[in-house]
Amino acid sequence: MNNKRFWILGLLVSVIIAGVVSYYASSHPDGLEKAAEEVGFIGDAQDSAVADSPLADYGVSGVEDERLSVGLAGVLGVLVMVVVAGGGFMLLARKPKQRN
């Protein structure tokens, strides 16, 4: 597979997973939450300081449609990840060259 196609495909798959497939994710509590319920310490959990953020819990506040809300949040997350992780790793890899 050539380079360009590979990167486009990788990003496309990520966008589809976060933007479309995410709607079908199981809404059951995860392993840790379930354990906390079973054992009894689930009540110790406190809201995150950013619990009121417009994207909290993978939904865009104000967007009524659940499918759209989680999908938009997912795509926004992917975009931020591309910038932060993609940009960060590129900078990290470039550094030694600049020094030489």
- Where on the chain is the footprint of other proteins (CB under 8 A)? 1, 6-7, 10-11, 13-15, 17-18, 21-22, 24-32, 34-36, 38-41, 44-51, 53, 55-58, 70, 73-74, 76-78, 80-82, 84-90, 92-97
Give me 21's structure tokens. Answer: 């497939």
Rounded to the nearest whole angstrom, what is the least distance from the CB of residue 80 to other proteins in the complex?
Answer: 6
Smallest distance, other proteins to C-beta of residue 83, A: 9
* HSE-CB for 87 with a 13 A CA cutoff: 6
Nearer to other proteins, 64 or 93 (CB): 93
d(CA 52, CA 65): 19
What is the rounded distance in angstroms from the CA atom of residue 97 to the CA atom of residue 51? 41
CB of 8 to other proteins, least distance (A): 11
What are the backbone dihedrals phi and psi of residue 50, each rounded to the nearest 5 degrees, phi first? Answer: -105, 20
